[in-house]
Structure 1
Amino acid sequence: MTDFTVQGNSDLVYIVDSSKQSEPCDAFPRLETLSIRNVISLEKICHGELMPNSFCQLRNIKVEHCDKLKNFFSFSIASHLSELQEIEVTDCESMEEFFTMGRRNEVIVLDQLQFLRLTNLPKLRRFYSEAEVASTSDTPMSFFDGKVEVPNLKTLELRKINVDKIWHNQLSLMPNSFCRLRKIKVEHCDKLKNFFSFSIASRLSQLQVIEVIDCENMEDFFTMGRRNDLRRFCSEAEVASSLDQEKRMLDTPMSFFDGKVEFPNLKTLELRKMNVDKMWHNQLSSMSSCFQNLTNLVISDCCNLKYIFASSTLRSFVQLQCLEVCNCKVLEEIIRIDDLGNNVELPSLKKLLIEGCHEMKVFIFNDKFNVTRREIDINISKFWLQQLCLQIEAPNLKTLELHKMNVDKMWHNQLSSMPSCFQNLTDLVISSCCNLKYIFASSTLTSFVQLQRLEIRNCKVLEEIIRIDDLKKNVELLSLKKLSIEKCPEMKAFIFGDKDFCSGNIHNFNFPSLEIFIVFECFEMNIFSSVKASTPMLREMELDFIIYDCEGDVNITIQHIHENEPTSPLGESSMDADDWRNQLLLDSRRRIINKILDTLKRHHPFSGPEGLKELRKVAVTFEKKIYTCASNQSDYLSRISLKMLSLETKSQDISLKLPSCLNKTQADWTLEDLREFFERR
């Protein structure tokens, strides 16, 4: 047997019980995978003596919800687990250790262990215990205490573990342990105060990913600090000796990464819910290799941060490809200028997401060098800022997402003088930016030649996507394939302006690649553009979930729809920000409508595009009705499912009552029947 799974057994106390045998038992010598789930009475995996080769081929251990299990194996078994590669233990409330030793000098070597994930083990404080050594819960313990070697461990994840300390100071006696570690994730370990000793840090040359989430008492990553929350990555061993020194430490912003530690192979860094004041020390620029391979940076809910980078540190982030900054309540800018001698650039950046940073008004800001008051007044409200001789360039940026930002204007008017700045941007998503009145000035469009997808959602005062500011240039987005505009109640047109002015001065409104055009609840949008726009690839458009053919000119199509099928709000404008409807994406609603439509097709014969459109209107009307009155998302889905089930059941009943000589189609529903059916409660 190579795989053994036990699940949902409430009576099993031992997996192997050899206590009543006269000789040791040879248990599972060929077993490779052991999986135990919801065995609530399990106290031990093995009870009694076993032969040394028991479990010797075991590679994977996975244990979940075994509330009485205290440990895995004794030293005699653990010392032969040379093939063990993965350990995953979750929700075992009595688990105290993995291995029980017999004597102080015994050491276990787990040569092949690569993955260790431990989740919600409230009594677990160490990886092993010595049988004859008593300890109290008040005694600080190290989880890895130098008795278990893991030379090939690559991933370590600890979540909701009550450990005081991860590494023992004597771990230096095992120089090979943890030297291949690539990922560390620690979450909700509230007793943990620091992370590494320098002896451990010095061997983490292959570390690529660090995630630290909600460790409320962590003070620092290296040595001991004086703080009650994590504010820096490395602290000095010396401490303040007077109240004045302590006050100075409290008032001085500390850098989380203070230039004492290098991570040349780190690829992903995520920091969430951290009380840090400053991310990087200004001396980071002298350690250009420190984060030379960092490609992904995620910073979320760091409520003391006012900026992410000083411009002098950017040379350390030449490989950064993805930057996500979310819910940093006092963040004012991403880059703060502290050095006028260098261009401000992130040459490898491909994706930028900024969400819920309500105090952020600019991407770059200069507060250190002489800038005239007029320049500051002009630029303070602009999201992308060109400052003096500096350039912010992200030539490889492909995806830009902005959510819940209080910005007034997206791009500086001088963007046209930096044509390479966004030359590779393909996807732009903007949502809940409630001060924006337009997205692009027409003069900036030459910087967006590769833009393929543009999605705008919940921008309450947005009036147009493109505002005309240059009479000499064509208005065109040559690569744009998908345009989606949702819940922008003041939106008048994609391009809006005086008709005589536009027709007399602009050569073309040209969107030759546009194939998908979606508009949802933009009740003031009665035209696409002030004059005729060229959209040769656009065959149909979707308005409030209904699909319409485009008859050559998209303007004529929109005008025709509004003349013949006027739409009106469904009372959603009064919804609270936390209403469940705000969390339900339009694509999710569209998928549900399509499923309703598939059901209707089975019970109503339709003819041609017009018949399908009428059937789709029935589906959309029904979905909107449920969407409006449902109390939550579960209620919304349940009501729709029950109605569809009722339709299927009623159709079957009608079919059974028909005489066998009649054709099955005579059991089909008419369009009026369906409308009446969905009107009923």
Structure 2
Amino acid sequence: MHIKAIFDVKCTTESKDVTSTGPTLFSLKNLTLSNLPNLKNVWNEDPDGILRMHHLEEVHVENCKCLRSVFPASITKDVVELKNLEVEDCEELMTIVAENSSADPRGTNQELSCPWVRSFKLKGLPMFKYFYYYSLQCHNFAHLESHTENQVGTEKLKWLSLGNNGVDMILHGEFERNFLENLKCLTLCLFSDAFGYEILEPVPNIEKLVVRGGSSKEMFCCQSANDSGLLLRLKELRLESLEELVSIGLENSWTEPFVRNLETFEVISCSSLKNLVTCRVSFSNVICLKVENCDSLSYLFTSSTAKSLVKLQRMEIEKCKSIEEIVSEEREESNEDQIIFPKINCLSLKYLKNLQRFYKGSLSFPLLEELSISECDKMVTLCPGTLEASKLSQVIPLEIDLSSTLWEEFMSKIGWRSSVEFKDRADLNEIWRFTLQIRDFCFSNLETLVVDGCQLLSYVIPFGVLPLLPELQTLEVRNCDSVKTIFDVKCSQDTFTFPLKKLVLLKLPNFETVWNEDYAEIVTEPNPADPEQTNPKLITPNLEHLTVGEDELKMIANGKFQRNLLHKIKVLGLCFDIECDEFPQYGFLTPLPNVIKLVVCDSSFKVIFWDQRPNNSEFLLQLKELRMESLQELVSIGLENSWTEPFVRNLETFEVIKCSNLKNLITCRVSFSNLICLKVENCDSLSYLFISSTAKSLAKLEKMEIEKCESIEEIVSKEGEESGEDEIIFPKLNCLSLQYLKNLRRFYKGSLSFPLLEELSIRDCDNMVSLCPGTLEASKLSQVKLEGSNTTLKTDLNSTMKKEFLEKISELDEVDLQSGPTQQEIWNGSLHIPGLCFSELTKLTVNDPRFLSDAVLPFHLLPLLPRLKTLEVGNSDYVKTIFDVKCTTKDTSITFPLKKLVLSKLPNLENVWNEDPHRILCMQHLEEIHVKECKGLKSVFPASAAKSLVGLEDLVVEDCEGLMAIVADESKEGDELDENAIMFPRLSYLKVESCNSLPYLFTSSTAKGLAELKTMKIKECKVIEEIVSKEGKESDEDEEIIFKQLQDLYLENLDELGCFYSGNLTLSFPSLEEVFVIKCSSMKTFSAVNKINHPTKWYCSEYERPQKESDLNSAVLKTSAKKVVINKKQFFTASHDDYD
């Protein structure tokens, strides 16, 4: 928003006679100002009694970066009802109440009386100097929250909240001691990496301490404090949002006195904290404990600390994702060891996804009345030992004891699911045992069971549980170090037919067998021909899918896996560790003769099928499907090797997913004569799929899906000297999907035929105008899905696609133009586009346009952009000019609608216009120009362009090392230019920074036209000698250069600046309010003659208070003299030090 003031009182103060009419009384009570980046004043002039705000109670100001002060000076008489004031994140705010520019600083002090103020909050004010330049009286003030420096005095302070600067104020004694004596609550919002307990010494009576924010790693350090009597009255301790905190330090001996008195202990959002305490600590008076969002905690206390919580009444533990138990055992405690919480009446455990138990022994809660457990999916019961909660059963009637109730609740939650995962559990055997004890319990819907990281297991599923899994189709067992067998059938004499279809075994280093029974007694299907020969205990007639890792695959290769099980496997998955980069020897495939689908995933293999023929290549002869997935290091599949030809020829489905380094599916011609389905997805290094000879072998291909391959430019690449007439026919293809292929230009460079194509879907292939440049036949296709919408084919497919492409461009109001082949064709004029193609485009971003050899906007494109308002060009070493007007005849004239031009990081940009446009290209609507990091740019405007920019309001030029002029030398222009034309008549904001070849800013004739300029900032330009340069003979001393609207003038770090203007003309500044002349060491005078109508604030340092000046030359002299005094002091100090 462009709001610069809230209350307009400027015209009123000039005309209204308060003595005759009286003040205007405003009933406003609440004023909130938020996100106003251009707001400079709340009142655009001090109302001085004309507008009174006696009822104002609340003021909130946030994110107003240009605001210097909140209230004008006369408001001191009005804020008698003010109760709360909050000012946050205002970068340039220096004071709450502005100085009275008309008051004599030696006069009587005017107190700011705020008798009802209860709260101040000052935060994120890096330039803040003081609250009020006189004194502040607030008799009922009880809460100060300050995160910056301040000069606030209070008499009855009860609650103090401070940031780093406020802490420094206390340590340096800037708060009077009696102000802190009655303090009950202290909040420290810290941003440093160390917490010093020195801050606690001046506040001996605080009862509540809150520490939030900052990067402290330790709160109460181990070394003894100077005064062991710190915090003796502390009742509450809250630690919040201390993301780097790893130790609180409450186990240190000097903290014992105040820890013993604590009644409330809260730890919130301390994500690096691993322990509340590292050894036994007595919390003998703690009543309330709350821990929330502490993701590194694995437990809260050891058992000895927990036993000290004899007065604890309320415990809330929430959202700690790593916590596994609340109380951790010490040494070898047994299930009989009991912890009693005699006073606890409320226990809440919520969103603790890894919590497995409260304590490993026994628990007693004699007064517990409220128990809330939510989203603790891994916790079966509070403890494996006895659990006593006698009063809870009186409040909430329980049919059985609490422990059994929790068990049944856990089982009921998982009993109806179709998929269950047991992860990192040490009690899986207990779960199976309890499952068998529940009458009529059954996992009736369970189809997928995952057992991951469960230790202390020698087997996964006992035989007795198998009948409770009647629908189980998939079993996955991974990361279980102690597992030796999957099914424990050794102790059973019964036979059971199990419906399992898929078995996944990964990272089981001690795995020995699927069933722990003699191989001779295990069969995978009934043998009715000879039933007496076998005694089967577990029959799995449907098991056809096996996925294994490296260790399990070695068992197969070494013949230690049940061979009769392998014989029936039809789907084989290989999923190895990410570190394994060599595909195993192919011998493991020999005992798997019936595999029809091979899946290789989640590995770092570089090659799958090596070019060297194995000793026995008679395998995979039944293979129909091949899937490669998540092989990030894969560079070659190897299907072009001669020994793979037998099974490649039989492939019907080929899928390659997430193989980001794969550059080719195949490197030469391969015949996929039986391939029916092809899917390629997320393979970002592929530039094409096949060469044309391989594509011609896809005679049976019916479905092709290519998605999210960001580098692919064409599906089929030409071979040799193929012409545009060469045709590829896909005789059976009926479904083609091309989606999210941002660099795809075409399917094939020749001609294409799809006689059976019925489904075509193309989405987010922004560079593809048509499938091929030659002929395209798809006679059976009646409609195509483009960008998710069905489009009926009224003409041929190529014409429909091109029309859709151009319509899509014509509807865009914003385009981010990057290096793409289609953009190159448009910009170079080789792709014909209709006149209204970009008719709705309002913003064009040109980012890293490598296809541009010179100009960003060729002249032939300008008429196609009738609504372009914003042009942003950046990050290119190729761009030399923005607007190409060189080859245009002077009879041509275009008025361009551009309003904002942004140029950044264009090191080789030579000019904005590559020739003076001479009214060929008129930009009278241009309002903003931002130029940054264009080191080759010599000038921003040619003279004729500058004179045509009648609407320019903001001009910012930064980090342009080679810039020598804002406006190019006017003497080179022809007579046709209007010498009296005013340049930049509406310019209001000007900033020039770090332009180290610029000798001056404007000539005096240009400066005369800057009637609307309000802010001028010139910073860090090393060679600039003057801001306005004298032009020729300026003998008429009565002539003036009037900066009518200039309010703020910044001159900073200009080492060679000698003056603002060296000519004889008078400079007039009727509206000037603030002048910053900082680190301009060569400046001796401002100008020969200058006029200002009222005292102006003069800043000669970033941190000092301004001086009131009525003569700018005098101000320069004072500043220079002050620097001499400072330099002398420094010299003598240094000399004295040397002498010592």
**For the superposition of Structure 1 and Structure 2, which TM-score range results when normalised by the shorter chain?**
0.3 to 0.5
Instruction: Give the structure, 1 or 2, with the largest relative contact order (CA under 8 Å, sep 6 or more).
Output: 1
More helix by share: 1
For the pair shown, the structure with the greater C-alpha radius of gyration is: 2
Instruction: Calculate the TM-score normalised by the size of structure 2.
Output: 0.30
